[in-house]
């Protein structure tokens, strides 16, 4: 897709800083299309578990990211996936039925139910991550290692900043009551 990488020249009165930000915006647009189509996840599913859906991988990823912080609940998963808790609960139930997750009583509060990854779930995550790493490795194969290191840090810093902006704006947004259309 040669045309996707075409660059347009900024107007003559645009300074370098503005041109750099415009270039980031254009790259983000191209990246959004790839991410929106979930290219990596679809490839991983195709190669690892064709009977799964992308949301199944998202739940496994959420559990994997949440576990180091402590016990993972359906609420934790919903928050990490930025979806409604009832939707997260349905996806978790499906993954429990498939044997990739299990529900347990919390060790700190037996009234609370937590979600734990099974050996099958861990194996799926390992295989999916291997496919993703392979794609990333093929993209970076001709990059000098110092460029990879710099990009890794800067990309993480950029995504973290993006998450902070999103979360701050979500907190500021007025909540529409259920059943009432937004203005």
CA distance 95 to 117: 10
- Is the residue at 173 inside a domain? no
Angle between helices 39-48 and 54-66 (to 10 degrees): 100
- Cα–Cα distance between 32 and 159 in angstroms, integer? 13
Task: Say whether pLDDT at 177 is over 60.
Answer: no
Mean pLDDT within 164-181: 72
Q: Which domain holds residue 95?
A: 51-167
- Evaluate whether 76 touches 101 at the Cβ level (below 8 Å): no
Any domain includes 105? yes
Whether 26 is in a domain gets the answer: no
Q: How many domains in the chain? A: 1
The two structure tokens encoding residue 6: 């075409």
Q: Looking at residue 143, which CATH number applies to its domain? A: 1.10.10.10
The answer as to whether 33 is a domain residue is no
For 30-52, what is the mean pLDDT? Answer: 83
pLDDT of residue 183: 46
pLDDT of residue 7: 55
Looking at mean pLDDT, say which of 21-30, 96-105, 169-178 comes out highest: 96-105
Instruction: Decide if 28 is inside a domain.
Output: no
Residue 5, domain member (yes or no): no
Domain assignment present for 93: yes
pTM: 0.67
Distance (Å, whole) CA 152 – CA 164: 18
Summarize the confidence of residues 68-84 as an average pLDDT.
93
| Domain presence at residue 79 | yes
């Amino acid at each position: 897709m040669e045309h996707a990488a075409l660059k347009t020249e900024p107007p003559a009165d645009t300074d370098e800083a503005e041109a750099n930000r415009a270039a980031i915006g254009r790259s983000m647009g191209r990246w959004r299309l790839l991410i929106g189509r979930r290219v990596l996840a679809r490839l991983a599913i195709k190669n690892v578990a064709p009977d799964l859906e992308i949301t199944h991988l998202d739940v496994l990823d959420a559990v994997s990211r949440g576990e180091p912080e402590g016990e993972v609940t359906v609420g934790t998963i919903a928050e990490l996936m930025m979806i409604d808790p009832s939707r997260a609960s349905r996806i978790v139930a499906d993954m429990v039925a498939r044997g990739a997750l299990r529900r347990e009583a919390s060790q700190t509060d037996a009234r609370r139910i937590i979600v734990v990854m099974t050996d099958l779930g861990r194996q799926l995550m390992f295989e999916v991550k291997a496919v993703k790493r392979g794609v990333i490795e093929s993209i970076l194969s001709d990059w000098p290692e110092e460029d990879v290191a710099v990009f890794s840090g800067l990309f993480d810093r950029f995504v973290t900043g993006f998450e902070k902006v999103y979360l701050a704006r979500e907190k500021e947004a007025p909540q529409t009551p259920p059943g009432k259309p937004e203005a």
